[in-house]
């Protein structure tokens, strides 16, 4: 950001996190997948953080995936946004992530927040990051085959709706954490 701090993101998978038979910890493909996930995490979070308030700062977000149960990038986006807000970093809004995938077949529907088995069988995937209070999409990452353009538009709408539904849950979590912190400080 011009005149502001920098947001640095890293995304790592623990060697035991697992991703099926195709996954090889430490391989060039896995390192590239981690770099792509880190770039997507930064793309999703950067519009949410008021970097101009931290002119010379380097804010570092590290996401370590211990178990891949599916929707890992979307979960990392939401968790990182919560961590930044909980740490007192000034933000415009919370970034909320939602993942979708589509199974093979002409009439297959998009599945919101799929598990790892559904992701493995999918022919198309989409991860959406939204700043709900601002109604601003901060990131869209997707790919796959066999889905016409209107199916991608439907997936985007479904993902945005999922983000809007998840937002109050995340806000309540932050409020509860702040209340617990205040109560602990008062005693």
Structural domain spans, the chain = 6-186
Contact 111, 103 (CB under 8 A): yes
Tens of pLDDT, residue by residue over 53-99, are: 998 999 999 999 998 888 999 999 999 999 999 999 999 999 999 99
Could you count the other beta carbons within 10 Å of the beta carbon of residue 93?
A: 19
Q: Which is nearest to 10 in space by CA: 63, 47, 85?
A: 63
Interhelix angle 72-86/149-186, rounded to 10 degrees, is 30
Q: Answer yes or no: CATH 3.30.230.70 is held by domain 6-186.
A: yes
Percent of the chain whose pLDDT exceeds 90? 64
pLDDT for residue 165: 96
Per-state percent for the chain, helix, strand, coil, to nearest 5: 45, 25, 30
* Cα–Cα distance, 169 to 113 (Å, whole number): 15
Tens of pLDDT, residue by residue over 107-151, are: 788 999 999 889 888 999 999 999 999 999 999 999 888 678 888
Q: Write phi, then psi, for 18 (nearest 5 degrees).
A: 75, 145
């Amino acid at each position: 950001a011009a005149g502001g701090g920098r947001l640095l993101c890293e995304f790592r998978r623990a060697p035991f996190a697992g991703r099926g038979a195709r996954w090889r910890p430490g391989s060039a493909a896995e390192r590239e997948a981690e770099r792509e996930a880190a770039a997507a995490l930064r793309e999703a979070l950067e519009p949410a953080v008021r970097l101009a308030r931290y002119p010379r700062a380097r804010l570092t977000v590290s996401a370590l995936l211990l178990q891949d149960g599916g929707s890992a990038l979307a979960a990392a986006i939401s968790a990182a946004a919560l961590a930044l807000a909980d740490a007192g970093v000034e933000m415009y809004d919370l970034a909320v992530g939602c993942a979708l995938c589509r199974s093979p077949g002409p009439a297959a529907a998009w599945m919101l927040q799929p598990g790892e088995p559904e992701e493995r069988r999918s022919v198309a995937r989409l991860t959406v990051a939204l700043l709900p209070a601002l109604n601003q999409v901060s990131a869209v990452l997707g790919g796959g085959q066999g889905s016409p353009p209107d199916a991608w538009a439907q997936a985007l709408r479904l993902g945005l709706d999922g983000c809007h539904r998840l937002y109050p849950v995340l806000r309540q979590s932050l409020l509860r954490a702040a209340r617990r912190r205040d109560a602990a400080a008062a005693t």
